[in-house]
């Protein structure tokens, strides 16, 4: 490594190496547990098969309780450091922790029980929390599960359908937590101006995009999407349709056992808003993987997570009618685009790629996103109204 890299920077990046962190974490955990627990923490790297960020670390902990030595498996979720060119403009690990705690307490939806939060960053240079480790398997992102050669692809249609329906049931369970607007008010970005949680969600996304633009350039696709979304505000944005939104609601963020969720993961994009936020994201995320497979002339899984099936299952489970998902799919495409802008900026920062002239070439979902936008623009704005958000 070049000697002109500041030493504290090297230290900070390598301090993310499990071994160097374990001592500090053990000492801190001793302050969280009853006296005499004498916890010892062994850390190891997170899974690489899912997720772009490596901020998920496995922790094996031993401690003394009632005079005997006990052992438990945990996962440590850590806030990304600024030096790593983070995806998000601001990162509230405490909000993830609080959302998990509330979901754990207020619903039957399986989530990893969160345990101890270090909110200050004093121990490791960034906030972190412990959650219980759950045994299960995840449909892979790398290579995408639609490419074949993985447990989800190789399952029977009935098993895949069971996974789909049970996932929708989990999402429905999240949405059925009562009084979400008050209970999860901390997830609503009150600093943004706008009459509804969705409007504020949208304005926060817009500000996040403008922040991403500073490191790159404008995206023609995202600029088109912003214009269309703004001018075609969805009918679903009404006061009696405000639920907890998991955020990154896709099957690649769920641990499964026997094709049923055992832990709903990844709460960094949690918010509040219409139920269609999560449903549009769920459908869109699968479409991204399906179009990718088709690009490589693979069959993919065209029968999985089709919009009409998702809508029908959700309505059966909840009695709630799901509005048009098109707006929410395009909104998902916009958010995916900003994520790809930031992961592109990070790769360029670490010398892995050259920054492209056209930002949109960073978008793995560009053909799908463009297709949805072309279609929406051609159809005009007749299908929606501007009552609430405009």
Active site (annotated) includes residue 316: no
47 makes contact, choosing from Mg ion, ligand ATP, none, with CB < 5 to 8 Å by partner type, with: ligand ATP
Provide, rounded to whole angstroms, the least separation between the CB of residue 340 and ligand ATP.
12
CB neighbours (10 Å) of residue 17? 12
Among the listed residues 303, 273, 26, the one whose alpha carbon sits nearest the alpha carbon of residue 160? 303
Count H helices, E strands: the chain? Answer: 12, 9
Provide, rounded to whole angstroms, the least separation between the CB of residue 50 and Mg ion.
5
Query: Residue 343 has what DSSP assignment?
Result: H
Which residue number, 311 or 342, has a Cβ lying nearer to Mg ion? 342
Which residue number, 50 or 113, has a Cβ lying nearer to Mg ion? 50
Among the listed residues 264, 232, 248, the one whose alpha carbon sits nearest the alpha carbon of residue 336? 248
Which residue number, 269 or 305, has a Cβ lying nearer to ligand ATP? 269
- Considering only residues 240 to 259 of the shown chain, the ones binding Mg ion according to CB under 5 A are 253
Considering 98, 141, 188, 248, which one is annotated as catalytic? 248
The residue written with tokens 């983070």 in the block is 86
Q: How many CA atoms lie within 13 A of 19 on its CB side?
A: 1
Which residue among 20, 52, 185, 315 contacts ligand ATP (CB under 6 A)?
A: 52
The CA–CA distances, whole Å, from 368 to 160, 193, 277, 373 equal 23, 31, 18, 9
Which residue among 138, 169, 244, 366 contacts ligand ATP (CB under 6 A)?
A: 138
Q: Interface with ligand ATP by CB under 6 A: which range of 47-55, 88-96, 341-349, 359-367?
A: 47-55
Is 55 near ligand ATP (CB under 6 A)?
A: yes
The residue written with tokens 């979304």 in the block is 229
Which residue among 266, 307, 329, 360 contacts Mg ion (CB under 5 A)?
A: 266
Is 51 near Mg ion (CB under 5 A)?
A: yes
Provide, rounded to whole angstroms, the least separation between the CB of residue 203 and Mg ion.
25
Dist CA 250 CA 163 (whole Å): 12
Task: Answer whether 93's CB lies under 8 Å from 186's CB.
Answer: no
The residue written with tokens 């901020």 in the block is 55
Record the tokens describing residue 25, joined without a space. 């974490």
Task: Answer whether 170's CB lies under 8 Å from 208's CB.
Answer: no
Among the listed residues 259, 238, 251, the one whose alpha carbon sits nearest the alpha carbon of residue 281? 251
| Binding-site string for ligand ATP from residue 280 to residue 319, where x marks contact by CB under 6 A and - marks none | ----------------------------------------
- Considering only residues 95 to 124 of the shown chain, the ones binding ligand ATP according to CB under 6 A are 112
78 makes contact, choosing from Mg ion, ligand ATP, none, with CB < 5 to 8 Å by partner type, with: none
**DSSP strand pairing (40-44 vs 56-65):** antiparallel
Q: Interface with Mg ion by CB under 5 A: which range of 17-25, 46-54, 62-70, 302-310?
A: 46-54
Decide: helix, strand or coil at residue 85. coil
Task: Answer whether 137's CB lies under 8 Å from 153's CB.
Answer: no
Chain position whose Cβ is nearest to ligand ATP = 51
Is 345 near ligand ATP (CB under 6 A)?
A: no
Is 248 near ligand ATP (CB under 6 A)?
A: yes
Dist CA 307 CA 310 (whole Å): 5
**Catalytic residue annotation:** 248
Chain residues that interact with Mg ion, rule: CB under 5 A:
51, 253, 266
Chain residues that interact with ligand ATP, rule: CB under 6 A:
46-47, 50-53, 55-56, 75, 112, 131, 133-134, 138, 248, 253, 255, 263, 265-266, 268
């Amino acid at each position: 490594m070049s000697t002109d890299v500041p030493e504290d920077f090297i230290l900070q990046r390598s301090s993310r190496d499990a071994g160097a962190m374990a001592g500090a974490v053990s000492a801190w955990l001793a302050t969280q547990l009853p006296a005499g627990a004498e916890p010892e923490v062994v850390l190891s790297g997170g899974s690489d098969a899912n997720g772009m960020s490596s901020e998920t670390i496995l922790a094996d902990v031993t401690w003394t309780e009632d005079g005997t030595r006990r052992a438990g498996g945990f996962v440590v979720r850590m806030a990304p450091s600024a030096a790593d060119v983070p995806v998000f403009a601001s990162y509230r690990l405490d909000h993830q922790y609080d959302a998990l705690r509330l979901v754990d307490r207020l619903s039957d939806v399986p989530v990893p029980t969160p345990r101890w939060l270090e909110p200050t960053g004093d121990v490791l240079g960034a906030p972190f929390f412990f959650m219980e480790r759950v045994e299960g398997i995840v449909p892979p992102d790398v290579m995408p599960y639609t490419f074949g050669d993985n447990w989800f692809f190789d399952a029977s249609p009935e098993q895949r359908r069971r996974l789909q329906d049970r996932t929708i049931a989990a999402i429905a369970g999240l949405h059925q937590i009562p009084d979400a607007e008050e209970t999860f008010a901390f997830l609503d970005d009150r600093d943004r101006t706008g009459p509804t949680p969705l409007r504020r969600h949208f304005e926060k996304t817009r500000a996040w995009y403008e922040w991403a633009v500073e490191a790159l350039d404008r995206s023609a696709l995202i600029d088109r999407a912003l214009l269309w979304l703004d001018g075609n505000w969805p009918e679903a944005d009404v006061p009696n349709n405000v639920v907890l939104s998991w955020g990154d609601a896709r099957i690649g963020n769920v641990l499964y056992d026997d094709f049923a969720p055992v832990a709903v993961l990844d709460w960094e994009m949690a918010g509040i808003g219409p139920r269609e936020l999560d449903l549009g994201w769920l459908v869109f995320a699968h479409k991204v993987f399906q179009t990718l497979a088709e690009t490589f002339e693979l069959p993919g899984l065209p029968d999985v997570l089709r919009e009409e099936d998702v809508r029908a299952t959700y309505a059966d489970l909840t009695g709630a009618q799901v509005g048009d998902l098109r707006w929410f799919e395009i909104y998902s495409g916009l958010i995916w685009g900003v994520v790809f802008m930031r992961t592109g900026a990070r790769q360029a920062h670490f010398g892995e790629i050259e920054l492209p002239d056209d930002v949109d070439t960073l978008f793995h979902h560009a053909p799908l996103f463009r297709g949805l936008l072309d279609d929406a623009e051609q159809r005009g704005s007749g299908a929606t109204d501007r009552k609430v958000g405009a």
